[in-house]
Amino acid sequence: MSANLVDAHFVMKKYFFTKKRIKSYLALGLALLMPSVAFSALPAMVRVSLFQAHAPVQELVVQGPFQLATSTPRTLGKGRYTLRMAQHQLLLCGPEPSRYCLRSQRFLLIPANGEKSVSLGLPNQPQRLYSGRLEFSMKSNHALRIINALPTRDYVALVVGSETPSGWPMEALKAQAVLTQTRLFRYQPGDALDDTTQQEVYLGERHRRPEVVQAVTSVWDEILTIQGHPVTPFYHASCAGHTSGAEIFGQHHRLPGMTGVPCAGCRLAPFGKPTLHRIPAKTYADVFPPGLPKVTQRDQAGRPLLVQFSNGSTQSGYAFWLAVGQRLGWDKAPGLYFSWRSTTDGQILFESRGAGHGVGLCQYGAAALARQHRSYQDILNTYFPGAKTAKINMP
Ligand SMILES: [Zn+2]
């Protein structure tokens, strides 16, 4: 996947946060109220759990050559290898015609001598390239655990490369890198990061681009802070004119520096205009309580804060938007800036603007500001009012 922001599929599934994720950000928000912490350093290495968007993963294809990192390292040559589970063990089977298999509870793979990465993929899907070390183990009897350990700096560059299309302006790339570094400030060694939009997309070495590496190099020792603490680095693809504060996630939650701001630059971007989708009323009724909910409260940007169902129950507009995306498909309302109504011909019409939840930095808006020669500090300060970059020690 090119991770191009104009790729509709990519944008539609982008930047939704599960309840678990919200809880972790709420926890982070509470942590921000704690006494100031000294800015120390990011870890030298991070661990990323791969193929989370495709979990549970039961089989992988590894293209040789690669090296098995055992007490006596062994290079396996060219060819198509498969990795799967069998009888409570992992089975790494070599190419035809010999088709020999190695059994183990755990495999460690690194690039072969002279190679920079290992080629890895799901069956019948494009292969991805990963540098660093790959650890394979069993998550359960039905799922593989795939962990990629790599230097933090490489990870930041590859995330920024995965999250932006080629041609993205330099100052916007720098702003994106600062946000990723800010997120990693809370990383605990040993944790496994997620490689999806739950956190940030990480698709491996194919997304290493020279301009991204240059951007990361120039802001490598910076994170974004407000009132002496790291910000919660939310961002989204396109806000369609106005971002929202963190209270959009419900529970009257507010975060410092996370207030809605006007954003002119994304109006001409994809999803700047309303997206209309109709579905049969029966399709809606099959997965939601009877009747369409009413919006009882909106934020200043126009996003629904609270909705009420005909049985009197209420939920946040954000929770309803997540449910629409998860049950009916993310194309129905790519942006949380959305509304819905019944039509005279027995359908439900969803109208949505922008893409994503609308909180924090607007990526298309940031790119537009960068093209107007605004600096990355300016861009970050636009979307996180009152925030400043701060230097930290880096590995
Ligand atoms: Zn915007």
- The ranges assigned to domains in the chain are 8-35+152-265+358-391, 59-141, 275-353
CATH topology of domain 59-141: PH-domain like (2.30.29)
Token reading at 64? 């040789």
121-172 pLDDT per residue, tens: 999 999 999 999 999 999 877 899 999 999 999 999 999 999 999 999 999 9
Query: Is the pTM here over 0.75, yes or no?
Result: yes
289-347 pLDDT per residue, tens: 888 999 999 999 999 999 999 889 999 999 999 999 999 999 999 999 999 999 999 89
201-232 pLDDT per residue, tens: 999 999 999 999 999 999 999 999 998 899 99
Segment 96-120 mean pLDDT: 93
Distance 33 CA to ligand 1 centre (A): 28
226-246 pLDDT per residue, tens: 988 999 999 999 999 999 999
Residue 274 has what pLDDT?
A: 92
Segment 182-199 mean pLDDT: 91
Distance 263 CA to ligand 1 centre (A): 5
Helical spans, DSSP H, in the chain: 8-12, 19-32, 152-163, 170-184, 210-218, 281-287, 317-328, 363-371, 376-383
Distance 176 CA to ligand 1 centre (A): 15
- Helix then strand count (H, E) for the chain reads 9, 22
Q: For 349, list phi and psi in degrees, rounded to 5.
A: -105, 120
Distance 54 CA to ligand 1 centre (A): 30
Distance 371 CA to ligand 1 centre (A): 14
Computed over every residue of the chain, the mean pLDDT equals 87
Distance 368 CA to ligand 1 centre (A): 9
Q: How far is CA 40 from CA 176, 186, 215, 391, in A?
A: 21, 11, 22, 9
Is the confidence at residue 4, as pLDDT, over 50?
no
Token reading at 194? 């997620």
Is the confidence at residue 357, as pLDDT, over 70?
yes
Report residues near ion ligand 1: CB below 5 Å.
239, 263, 266, 362, 365
Distance 327 CA to ligand 1 centre (A): 26
